[in-house]
Chain A
Amino acid sequence: MTLAVARAMVRGGEALTIMTPTSDAGSRANALDLRGITCTFPPSGKGEKPYTAVRDVNLTLADGEFVAIVGPTGCGKSTLLNVAAGLLPANTGDVRIFGQPLIGINDRAGYMFQAECLLPWLTARRNVAFGLELRGVDTAEATRRADAWLARVGLSGFEDRYPKQLSGGMKKRVALAQVLVMEPKILLMDEPFSALDIQTRQLMENELLDMWSADKKSVFFVTHDLEEAISLADRVVVMSSGPATTPVAEFNVDIPRPRDVTEIVQSPQYLDLHRRIWEILKKEVLKSYERGKTVAAS
Chain B
Amino acid sequence: MIIGLDVGGTYTDVVLLGDDGIVRANKVRTDSKALFRTVQSGLDTIIEGIPPDQIRRIVLSTTLTTNAIAQSKVSDVGMIVSAGPGVDPEFYRTNPHYEVISGSIDHRGREVEAVNAAEVEEAVRKFIEKGIRHVGVVGKFSTRNPQHELLINEQIRSHFEKVFLGHQISGTLNFPRRIATTYLNAAVYPIHKQFFEAVQQSLEQKGLKIPIHIMKADGGTMNFESSMNFPAQTILSGPAASVMGSLAFAFDDEDSLVMDIGGTTTDMAVLVNYVPVLNPLGICLGPYKTLIRSIESHSIPVGGDSKISVQDGVIHVGPERIGPAMAYGGPAPTPTDALCIMGQIKNGDRNKAIQGFQDIARGLNCSVSDAAVRVFDQTCRMILTEAGVLLNRINQKPVYTIHELQEGYQVAPRKILILGGPAPYFARHFEEISDFRVGVVPRWDVANAIGAALARTTCEVSLFADTQQGIATSPEELFSMVVNRDFSSDDAVQTASDLLRQKAVRQGASPEELIVEVIENQQFNMVKGFYTTGRNIRVKVQIKPGLINEYDAIAGILSTE
Bound pair (A, B): no
